[in-house]
Amino acid sequence: MNALKRVLNGASKRLIVLIPAAMAAGFAYGLAADASALKPWVLPLTVVMVYPMLVNFRPRAVLDGGDMRAFWMAMGLDFVVLPLVAWGFALVFFREQPALFAGMVLAGLFPTSGMTISWTGFAKGNVAAAVKMTVVGLIAASLLAPLYLKALVGAVVPVDAVEVLKTVALVVALPMAAGALTRIGVVRARGEAYFREQVVPALPGLSTIGVLGIVFVAIALKAKAIAAAPHSLLVILAPLAAFYALNFVLATVVGKALLPRGDAIALVYGTVMRNLSIALGIAVTQFGPESALVLSLAYVVQVQAAAWYVRLTDRVFGPAEPAAAQPSAA
């Protein structure tokens, strides 16, 4: 059990290396074999990817601390500014490529993930505010996704809002219910301490296994097309890099100008860390592997950028006051 925990913990901390490795492995497999046989694995891998991150999901965290000004600023960026920015990049770069268009919009549609909380903790930001942003962001995005996709993508890609809602229910609502039942069952059987100390630390790693599997499948399914036009990766990476760069700059400038240090850091990670796991699940099931390729590459950009930003945090916002330092959250 301890060995498994170490493996899972190690996986979640090495996304910078593991996601490119999964992409390379999927590319090699897709060139060497018929990758269509992997399609039945999409749904199980999606569940493996999303379910663990919802086991410790607690809606009542909305009532806990956190600065309301930072929270509302994050909601404004997450649900107004950034979806429109992603849509704008999609119009400029992918108007004639419907699947890539949908993938780019999805990259800006689902805000926050468990890593929002973790990276905020690593940077000694306001973890309570990050938790509130994460909880509200996931619930609101899940409810609004069919409407956003219909409005932003529908003119380029046919979007069945009912089917999107079904997919969101499958990818978010069912894993959320299963996660709640898991948490309640484990706590009743073994106690809160066991759940917090033995189960919670393994959840990010388990989710990472699903992420790597989905990335592998998405790249494998498009391997021959990528090999025929390798420049297509650069065509996708360019708007993604621009989107994340703009996101970092906008959140940093606004946060530094209007918020105290801890809240400003929470604002940055509450807007930059998109929930690519859920977006990827919707992309694969609704728009196909080409759309999922955009989200797979977004993982590479997002994780690399977040890791570098932590190293620059003290230069940007100044060092944290010792008494104000926040504990890291997994």
Residue 102 maps to a domain? yes
DSSP 47-110: HHHHHHHHHT--GGGGGS---HHHHHHHHHIIIIIHHHHHHHHHHHHHTT-HHHHHHHHHHTTS
| pLDDT tens string 253-266 | 999 999 999 999 99
Residue 243 is predicted with a pLDDT of 96
Which of left, alpha, beta for 191 (phi over 0: left; psi -120 to 50: alpha)?
Answer: left
Determine the pLDDT at residue 327. 41
Greater confidence, 22 or 171? 22
What are the pLDDT digits (tens) for 110-168? 888 767 877 787 788 888 888 888 888 888 888 888 889 989 998 787 777 777 777 77
Give domain status of residue 244, yes or no. Answer: yes
Q: Which residue has the tokens 């689902």?
A: 110
How many domains does one find in the chain? 1
Give me the domain span that covers residue 139: 36-199+229-318
Mean of the pLDDT values across residues 177-193? 91
Question: How far is 149 from 160, CA to CA, in rounded Å?
Answer: 9
Q: Judge whether 51 lies within some domain.
A: yes
CB-based contacts of 313, cutoff 8 Å, min separation 6? 123, 124, 265
The number of helix segments (H) and strand segments (E) in the chain equals 16, 0
- Share above pLDDT 70 across residues of the chain, in percent, rounded to a whole number: 90
In a domain, 248, yes or no: yes
Across 112-121, 164-173, 236-245, the highest mean pLDDT is recorded for 236-245
Mean pLDDT, rounded, for 91-111: 92
Does 11 fall in a domain? no
**Is 108 inside any structural domain?**
yes
For position 51, which CATH number holds?
1.20.1530.20
Closest by CA to 178, choosing from 197, 196, 201, 203, is 203
Q: Is residue 3 a part of any domain in this protein?
A: no
The label of the residue with tokens 């790693």 reads 205
In a domain, 268, yes or no: yes
Residue-wise pLDDT tens digits, 283-302: 888 888 888 889 888 888 88
